[in-house]
Structure formats: C-alpha cells, structure tokens
Homo-oligomer: A and B are copies of this chain.
C-alpha cells in the first residue's frame, strides 16, 4: 500500500519529507510483525538482538558497553536488557578480572536453545516481510547505507 493511503495523507512537502515518514512508518510495520513472531518465545525484538550479539561472540565474553555499541538503537540501555535476559536464565554476568568496572556477559545453553528454536522457525520470515526481489533489496541496502552519510 502506498504511504499516502496508509496514513491517509494526500501529499508530502517534498520527496525528502516523504522518505522520512516512509522510513518511520516502515520500521513500525516491521517491528509489529517481529513482535508477533518473538512473543511466543518470551522475547522482545531488542532482547533477541542482544542474544544474537552474544551468540556472535562464539563463546567469548563481551562487556555491556560493547553490546551497547553493537545495538541497533544507540540510545537504548544494554544494562537493563541484559538484566531482563539474566532473569530469564539466558545470559550470565561475570566480573571482569582485568578491570573491575566492566562486566563480562555470556550467553547460556538455555539462551542458545531459544535462539536455535527461533532460528528454525524464522526461515523465510525476513523474505516474507520484504516484498522485493533480490535486485531491489540490494538497491534498498545501498540507498540506506548512503542515506546516513
């Protein structure tokens, strides 16, 4: 559906203004679908993202601030997300011996299990959400990377 119908707005000031609104609307469209998918696993999209970052470490610990750097939303709060995941038994926290200000985070077996289950059912989800062909997706990625300067 064209953005104009989706938000019942006849026209935009210019294509740049439409692009801003289009990006915000499309993000909401995606997150809504992701929430529905993650909910049965007891995870929010951001919690999933943190787990995914931890799995990417392949067994090596990572500090809270390094998680923060890798998060999609730089203004988010890795500290509290990690706490939520710890309460669910999906991560463990260990004091870093070389610098006691830092806290090492590791994904647990349970966390890996949940990610694997998710991963099995996730196949094709991204492709189902994005109604574009291969060439168009590549084009979109190029434009988004360029957009941010």
Contact = CB atoms under 8 A, between A and B. Distances in A.
B72 A14 contact: no
Interface stretch (A23-31, A95-103, A110-118): A23-31
A74 B131 contact: no
How many chain copies? 2
Given A27-B24, A144-B23, A145-B22, A130 B16 contact: yes
Given A75-B28, A147-B26, A15 B141 contact: yes
Contact of A130 (B28, B45, B73, B147): B147
A140 B9 contact: no
A149 interface: yes
Contact of A20 (B16, B126, B136): B126
Interface string A33-74: 000000000000100000000001000000000000111111
Given A3-B141, A19-B126, A26-B27, 14 more contacts: A1-B145, A3-B145, A7-B70, A15-B137, A16-B126, A20-B30, A22-B145, A23-B26, A23-B27, A23-B30, A24-B27, A131-B146, A132-B147, A140-B144
Interface of A: 1-3, 6-9, 13-32, 45, 56, 69-75, 126-127, 129-132, 134, 136-141, 143-149
